[in-house]
Chain A
Amino acid sequence: MSNLSVLLNGKIGNLFLNFKHHFKNDGITILYGPNGSGKTTIISALGGFIDNIETKIIFNGKELHDTGKYPPNKRPFGTMFQNPILFEHLTVEENLDFVIKRNQIKTQNKITITKEYLINYLELNSFLKRSPANLSGGEKLRVVLARTILKQPDYLLLDEPMSDLDIKYKAKLLVFLKDINKKFKIPMLYITHSIEEISQIGDQIVLIKDGKKIDSGRVADIINKSSFGDLTGKFELSSILEGMVVSYDQNLHITNLNLNGQNLVVPGLPGDLNEIVRFRIRSRDILISSSRLDTKITENELQGFISMIEIENNSPFSELVILLKNFKNNGIKQKLRARITTYNLKNMKLSLNDSVFIYVSSVSIDRQAYQSK
């Protein structure tokens, strides 16, 4: 298990940074916060590029803040900067060789990721001999990713890597990163503004605002908390649920998931049979009813109890947290956050601990956001 503890304290430009966190997992940790909150500064500091504030970085027992012993070129991280740069005096392949040549010694007790593996996976073959100046944005990004990973880093730091990418390729690259994370046991710190990306690849998340940590924890736990809603705006609030794949209809292209005894139909094939998958439902896409509807208005009907009601001041909306019923009695609790109008809430005369029926259309379940566990 990798162990990275970070303390940053001091003023950089207009930002007063006072950040402290202990990253302790081998998965992918999302760093999320508004622009100017200090996310990029944290990655720069980890890379050894910030020297005018109090810095304490301890990684697997090594005191990296000792810049005499660990200058930027001797840190065990692979960093992808916000505006990634390929060396234009070298070809694509020479760019990859640049990092291989300089990192040959330390790869003894780890599975080495080979150049050929990345060239095949990221489909770099057709432009290996080209100059980076003639690559498209997506091609350039793939080369930068390959080059960063070829350093065989002990930790990957990725600063909004997908921001310039079209959606189709983004999904592929997210799967790629997840794969690299699992197969080669490289933990990652991942900055992004996209909630799709968070729910698709994030395991842990750290929320940051004005240079300070607001909250941290598992993505599934944080994403429906109000601390997250405060940063995204309530409109983007959503929940992450888990279900097991029980069947797939090949003609209609839908999958039945079992959520502790309740059935949910989702589009596409999110995972293999009996695999547990995560998916995201936006709070605003949920309909609540105090009584069972007799017409099938959506594919899905779930049952639960209201465990929290939050009526917003000076706003038409209310937030409900619903605890899904567990018909398997296996102790797993899943929470769903719903956003409805206060008018609707009052009309239905809903109150705490009431039993409710939840209706959600399969269309609104985000196909990009599937993540097999």
Chain B
Amino acid sequence: MDIYHHLSSDFTAILITLKLAVVTCFFLALIGTPLAYFLAFKSKKTKPLIETIVTLPLVLPPTVIGFYLIIIFSPKTALGKIFIILTGEQLIFSFYGLVLASIIYSLPFWVQPLQASFEKIGRDTIRTSYSLGASPLDTFFNVIIPLCKRGFFTSLIISFAHTLGEFGIVLMVGGGIHGKTKVIAISIYDHVEQLSFGKAHFLAGGMLILSFIILLTLFYFNKRTVVRVK
């Protein structure tokens, strides 16, 4: 009975983790894609600044980001207040707080491969498409997306895998509340703290196999892609 209870609690964590990764990737596609496009083609003077901001989560300790996000998400700030008005609950320690944190944390993993892919097809391709009578939107959907399939695929896989494995920020911003913000990485930590190595093995092994399969898929289909981590 006890084992069954723990297993179901682990399954809840697995579900929350997967849901977090899916929702995060959805928003990354919406936010990160235009950002990558902007960095690849539009920005001139602002490019170094924006690139720096996007890349910061790669170099900062997760606790630093977590710390500032706790402050920004607190019910005392404008963002915190608006969230309470809209949903009736606090942003901090909520699932949506986790999503927001994950978007920021995984942003470089979405933007960088895609930006590189956009830069590879280059301005000339876009100009050619325009000169043939295709509008910018038409060009984006019928020229850029098909030509950058690999870039999108890489961004999706890497961002998804990265979101699955978050620990520091998720713990600080989400608090590891069972059934709400407790993800696999935190469950493993709890199991290890309680010396329940068997359960830790179950989750950790699962993560290892899943990550292995995801990356293998990526490199198998995407032989030419180099995953850049600055």
Genuine A/B complex? yes
Q: Give the distance to chain A from B35, nearest Cβ to Cβ, in Å.
A: 22
Query: How many residues from A make CB contacts under 8 Å with B?
Result: 25
The reply to whether A85 and B125 contact each other, CB–CB distance below 8 Å, is yes
In the complex with contacts A87-B147, A89-B146, A102-B138, A47-B132 CB distance below 8 A: no
User: Which residues on B sit within 8 Å (CB–CB) of A85?
Assistant: 124-125, 128
- B126 to chain A minimum Cβ distance, whole angstroms, is 9
Closest residue of chain B to A88 (Cβ to Cβ) is B147
Q: How far is the CB of B161 from chain A (nearest CB, A)?
A: 26
Contact, CB under 8 Å: A73 / B143: no
Q: Is A343 an interface residue (CB 8 A)?
A: no
Choice from A47, A74, A88 contacting B127 with Cβ under 8 Å: A47
Q: Which residues of A contact B136 (CB under 8 A)?
A: 71, 73
Q: Does B157 touch A at the CB level, under 8 Å?
A: no
The one of A73, A84, A98 that contacts B130, using a Cβ cutoff of 8 Å: A73
Query: Per-position contact with A for B129-173: 1 when CB-CB < 8 Å, else 0?
Result: 111111110110011001101000000000000000000000000
Given contacts A87-B143, A88-B147, A89-B147, contact A47 B124 (CB under 8 A): no
Which B-chain residue is minimally distant from A83 (CB atoms)? B124
Task: Decide if B133 touches A151 in the complex (CB within 8 Å).
Answer: yes
Of the residues B128, B133, B134, B149, contact of A81 by C-beta under 8 Å: B128
Measured in the bound complex, the distance between the Cα atoms of B130 and A102 in whole Å is 10
Which parts of A75-123 form the interface with B (CB within 8 Å)?
A: 75, 77-79, 81, 83-85, 87-89, 98-99, 102-103
Partner of A102, one of B128, B133, B146: B133
Q: Point out the residues of chain A lying under 8 angstroms from B127, CB to CB.
A: 47, 49, 72, 81
Whether a CB of chain B sits under 8 angstroms from the CB of A147 is yes
Cβ-closest chain B residue relative to A90: B146
B85-112 near A? 1/0 per residue, CB < 8 Å? 0000000000000000000000000000
Cβ contacts under 8 Å, A79 to chain B:
131
Choose one: A71, A83, A89, A98; the contact of B132 (CB below 8 Å). A98
Bound CA span A102–B142, Å:
12
Flag if A78 contacts B146 (CB, 8 Å).
no
Indicate the member of B134, B143, B146 with the most A CB atoms within 10 Å. B134
**A87 close to B125 (CB less than 8 A):** yes
With CB as the reference atom, state the residue of chain A lying closest to B135.
A73
Q: Kindly state the separation between the CA atoms of A79 and B131 in the bound complex, as whole angstroms.
A: 6
CB A92 to nearest CB in B, in angstroms, measures 15
Check if B147 sits within 8 Å of A78, measured CB to CB.
Answer: no
Chain A contacts to B: CB under 8 angstroms: 47-49, 71-75, 77-79, 81, 83-85, 87-89, 98-99, 102-103, 147-148, 151
Which 5 pairs, one residue from A and one from B, show the smallest C-beta to C-beta distance?
A: A72-B130, A102-B133, A89-B146, A79-B131, A73-B130
Q: Given A102-B132, A148-B132, 14 more contacts at CB 8 Å?
A: A71-B136, A72-B127, A72-B130, A72-B131, A73-B134, A73-B135, A75-B131, A81-B128, A81-B131, A85-B125, A87-B147, A98-B132, A98-B134, A151-B133
